[in-house]
Amino acid sequence: MSTRTIIEINHDHLTLRTASLLCDLLQVLGGSSVTQLLNEAHGKPVEPFAVPGIRILAQRHHSETLTLEVKS
């Protein structure tokens, strides 16, 4: 299944360690563990690996439309 994933990266928290964990995250994005986290969050962002500054905002099938509203 082809999916699109929206990831938020707060550059204020980006270090070599968080960059390394982001690479780990990219390896598991298509896996069921990420999908399960997102399903359990009921549309709210999830922070995999509890890494400050990196959140998955949404994941949808490529044919679905997704609208994000950014608030400060």
DSSP codes of every residue in 41-59? HTTS-B-GGG-TTEEEEEE
- pLDDT value, residue 1: 60
Joined together, the tokens standing for residue 9 give: 């990266």
Q: Which domain holds residue 27?
A: 3-61
- Give a yes or no: residue 66 inside a domain: no
- In tens, the pLDDT along 11-67 reads 888 888 888 888 888 888 777 777 788 888 887 888 877 777 888 888 887 778 888
Is residue 56 domain-resident?
Answer: yes
Tally the domains of the chain.
1
0.75 surpassed by pTM: no
- The answer as to whether 51 is a domain residue is yes
Residue 7 binned pLDDT confidence (cut-offs 50, 70, 90): confident
Kindly tell me if the per-residue pLDDT of 70 is higher than 80.
no
CA–CA separation, 36 vs 30, rounded Å?
Answer: 11
The answer to whether residue 69 is domain-embedded is no
Whether residue 27 is contained in a domain is answered as: yes
